[in-house]
Structure 1
Amino acid sequence: GGYRAGLTIGHGSTVNVRCELSTNANPIEMSCHKGNLTPPSIPCESGLRKSRQELEHATPTPTPTTSVRSRLEHNELDEHHQHHDNGTDEHGDDLKMCGHPSLTDGALVYKNPDHAEIDGAYDSGTEIFFNCIPNAAGDRQTWRIICDNGQWIGRSYNCENGTCLFKNNEPNVVSFYNDLEIREDIVEFPPGATIISRCVDIGKFSMTGSHDRTCIHSEWTNTKPVCSGLNQENDYAMEKAPTILFRHQNGPIAQSNNGKLIVYPGTTVHMECLWMRRFGNPKWNVSHSYKNYTEGWVTEADEGRDSTLEYRLSVFDAVAEDSGSYSCMTPARHEHAVEVVVKAINCPEIPIRRGLIVNTNDTKLSTRVLLSCSNGNSLIGASELFCLPSGNWSALLPVCESVECGDIPLMANNVSSPRVSVLSREVGGRAAFSCSTGYGLRGPTEAICLPTGEWATPFPTCVEVQCDNPGAPQNGYAQGSAPYRAGDVVQFNCNPEYMMQGQPIIACQDNGRWSGGLPKCVQACSYPGTAISGRMSSVKFYYAIGESITFTCDAGLDLRGSKVLKCMKNGKWSSAIPTCVTNDAPAGGVNTNKHLGTMG
């Protein structure tokens, strides 16, 4: 009674404090120790109900999608409700109330009439039921939340039955929708869509989670599947369950969408459990007692198998009674099981369609059918089909359609547009292009009729042809002037004492190239001269370096001089031409020489 606001409390002193307007009349003792009060403060409650605004300010109202603290099943909610009902009489004033919950789109809110709303707040233990507005099919879903000491517990679903986003990013998991594998990374599915999943290899991976999930209220039901590698994927670690390998003979096997091994009747299946033999023998367990199956390590007689690693169980000539669970347990007590279903799966027979060619009429499980069209028709649809474990073909049956290509859209009376000659308008047919004289094609020389009924592009154009300046040979010159258009010719000549090697005339072609290469002018010997009463072995304007000519005289005349002349590197003959003289003419006599004539 002696303390007033502003007075100092000494070290070791105590003060009794009581809240005003409090329902609790007992005072609280506060002590001072080295300048600090213990307790530092006391809460004062008036005992009156707080207003709705105060409650909302003090305790934020959770939203159905982000503020759910935990999800309770109906029996758990009932236990909470019963617990709070039993304790309301004794401790009702000590429990916090909940503010008004947020409404969900398309939902109607009802509260338990046993717990009345007080100024926009709800007592602890109050249950609120949500009823979705029925959809077109009449489906309706109801759920509830409960106030637990100031917090709403439970989960509010979205009443709008929207789409679900599927992320195909889980490794070693393969998922199916409507019996088709989902290959895209992200896919949006409609409400009610069901996805079936399994491991990519049911013998090498073990799956946890659900095989089936359905899109309901924009969320996927059940647990997302996860596939974990077994001992083969983990360097044959002893703490991992064993990998099971499958081999088959005399019939097909396949993995179903939900992770079962489908075996066609009459097929022989070998299931090999992988375990290091030096650590003991595994044990095969079968869920039925139809027969006792032989098991044991593979032998060296099994080509390509490892007798130190593969412990086999074989099912010969499988029948329906062989169906069941086959599990392999290691000496380390780790186990992996495979569900085997022996069933004659056959897909529908492929009907005969005009022009459709199939490579097989077999419809058994896992059969692959290749399809094509005759007479150049276009195949509309898949070119191959697989018989799936569901008994359905992997795609719809394609059809063959007769396709013809129309006219090629080219501008008429335009020098840049080529002329077209259509050889065939059927699929695979060709159209040839050409240009007028002086113009050449730029682009493909022909177009092919595609299965779409269109000609393959691009189309060529016609451009005026010009050839590059060919130049002139060394020690020679060219006759002609640029520009050189298609059909123009150039003539080459060599300087005196030189002869030409190559074509003396070339022409500019429609493709912009010359008809021949540039000739060469090489040094040579000119014609040595004329003579009478004799003959030369070769008569030309020019003789190549190193070339020789031989001289002879007519009957009754003698050759005076060198019989053979050779063209030297300097373009000169090795000697002067010889002469023909009479037999009785003295050497160097006058009027007795006769010039050599050409050898005829």
Structure 2
Amino acid sequence: MSKLSIAVFLAIIGVSLAAGGCRIPKISYGYCEPVMVDYMPRSYIPYGTVVKCHCEPGYEWTEKSNSYECDPYGWQPSTFGECVKLTCPYREPPENGDVTPSQKRYSVNQKIEFSCLPGYSLSGNSEDKCKSNGKWAVNKPVYCLKQCKVENLAPYVTYSPEAKYHDQGTEIYFKCDKSHYHLVGEGKSKCSKGGIWDTDFPICVRKCYTPEIENGGVEDEKDFYLAREYIEYFCNDGYVLDGEDEGQCLGNGEWSHVPTCKVTCPYREPPENGDVTPSQKRYFVNQKIEFSCLHGYSLSGNSGDKCESNGKWAVNKPVYCLKQCKVENMASYVTYSPEAKYYNQGTEIFFKCDESDYHLVGEEKSKCSKSGIWDTDFPICVRKCYTPEIEDGGVGDEKDFYLAREYIEYFCNDGYVLDGEDEGQCLGNGEWSHVPTCKAQCKRPTKPNKGSFEPYQDYYAVGANTTFKCEEDYELMGERVLTCQDGGEWDYHSPKCQRTCPYREPAENGEVTPSQKRYSVRQEIKFTCLPGYSLSGNSKDKCKSNGRWAVNKPVYCLKQCKVGNLAPYVTYSPEAKYHDQGTKIYFKCDKSHYHLVGEGKSKCSEGGSWDTDFPICVRKCYTPEIENGGVEDEKDFYLAREYIEYFCNDGYVLDGEDEGQCLGNGEWSHVPTCKEIILNDSCYGRCGKKDDYFEYTCQCHYRCEKEYNCCSDYRKQCFSNKHNLY
């Protein structure tokens, strides 16, 4: 910016360049003054001077900072604040109330008033005033507390003091406005927090006064009674209530019922298990009563009585109800005589069955005894069972008939057997639980020589089995189980017992086919071995007629050898999956550039293992060709990991390592070349001589007989004397 531009800018913001400072700013309702000692008033402020601005009472500065500094560019910061008139902040109206007037800000000395809505009372200052410092004179919370309202009072209830609304904490008092009404409930109530009365309001209930009863009165008499209360009436001795003995106070002050008292006879006790009609506590003159008994009881004594004018009964003798007997729960088919619903004590009845196929079991008669109980249990009629007919059989201890739950025992004639249970029970319907038949039996079968059968008995029922077996070393020829058929015949002929050969144990790691516990005559067996084993001994044998084996010599399964996991390129002969013990195999490599390393043959020994480790085929390395050089101790070929030593002809030197190793792939680890010696490049005489060549400052790989050379090209120096290298 040019000097002219700066001057124009400073002039705009009120800075005088010629004066060397800033003009003092003018503030309405305020002033700015330098912050410095011994300041002399002048028309401008020097550079670097700081001023602070202040407002007159009743006004406040609008910016956060009131400090400004003068520099060559003017006041910093460049914008000045202002002095504005102080106000008081907005005042929140109380809940359920108002503030008058309601403004965002209030001027100094302005007043506000607080008020509450109808039904609420003000708690706190009712007004406040804005002070010159912009704060409220009181500035304390104001509340509108809910008032209590008296409403829905019951009829005839009044209260004091009377008001439309009552402040919290105020008490009111209740009474009835008429003397013949009584206040029921609390006599006062207090307005509590929340504008709710702390008690329910009372009611006024109409009073009932004690009624007058001639020759009687009221129990526990009081001055008055309230609605729904009861009183109990009574009559003097010799009198009885004509009407209900209780009365209830009604809401209109009247009684529900008021009886009278009349002359009576005393209460008459009904007989036990009987009734008195009518049944009352007292009876009127000339009133009659009748005695009766409950069903099942008979009356003993006068059936009625009458109330005399002197208040006494005409007869006044005891009356009884005696229990009768009733016929009930009679068993089926039982009848009795004489027939009646009830029977007086001492009466007899007689029983019988109403059908000929039934039999009376129990007493034939019964008598009604005291307490109305029959002196015997009632009988029952049981259906008769008659003897069943059984062809070729019968029943033991036969009778004309049998009763329910009785048993009979069945039997069959000789040569026959019961098909079914040997007992039968007579059922309640006249049938038997079971009636068997008699079937023809089978006679005892023929016993085989060297054998037996079970069960062993004279006769066998149809369907019965007998099981045959032979003595040890004998085999059953024929059916093992025979079954008795209808008509008394066996289903098969009796079997025979034939001698057999014993069980043959298979060789270890072998099998016997077939494998049985016993073998029949002329039956053949075959011995075999599991894979990997060879049979030693007879492969077959045969059961002879004397129960012995034709050969009967031990058989063995010898473990064979198996060729597995051969090294690559190794072959063998003769080829087979398994080789018997004692067999030899021969190894070779299947490619000419491989060499067999190891034994050339192996023999299968006892236990099925080879007597030598199998060989491997190793790739051959052939002698490399080196122009103007060769290999020491040359052979036809070399094997992996073998070393050769290279040399060069006279006048040549090796370029590379002087050794090479045969690798597994038939290649050499290193093959050098032979280069011609150039004497002008020799380092002969450069290193000098030492008495002890091991103390050379450089490490020499060779030393010459005449000279010791440590130069890098020592090979050239010593080549002509190579035969003297050591």
For normalisation by structure 2, the TM-score amounts to 0.20
For normalisation by structure 1, the TM-score amounts to 0.23
Structure with the larger strand share: 2
Say which one has the larger Rg. Answer: 2
- Between the two structures, name the one with larger relative contact order (CA 8 Å, sep ≥ 6): 1
